[in-house]
Structure 1
Amino acid sequence: MPVESQALTLLRDERTLRVRQVKEWGEILTGFEGRNRYEVVGDDGGPLFFAGEVGSGLGLFLLRGFLKAKRPFTMELKSASGETLLRLRRPWRFWLSRLEVEDGEGRHLGAIQQRFRFFTRAYEVLGPGGEELARLNGPFFRPWTFNVEQQGREVGTIAKKWSGFGKELFTDADNFGVRFDGLRDPLVRTLVVAATFLIDFVHFEDRRGGND
Structure 2
Amino acid sequence: MRVKILWLVAIFCLFLVVFAHEFFQKFLFMRPCEQCVYIRLDFLIIALGAFFGTIKFIRFFGGVIAIFGAISGINHSLILNKIHTALHSELPFGVSGCNTEPSFIFNLNLHKIAPSLFMPTGECGSDSPAVPSGANISKMQEFFINLYENGWYLAPKWEFLNMAQCTLIAFITCIVLIFWAFLPKKLVFRAFF
Please classify the TM superposition score into its range, dividing by the shorter chain length: under 0.3
- Work out which structure has the larger RCO, using CA pairs closer than 8 Å and 6 or more positions apart in sequence: 2
TM-score normalized with structure 2 length:
0.28
Q: Which has the higher strand share?
A: 1
TM-score normalized with structure 1 length:
0.26
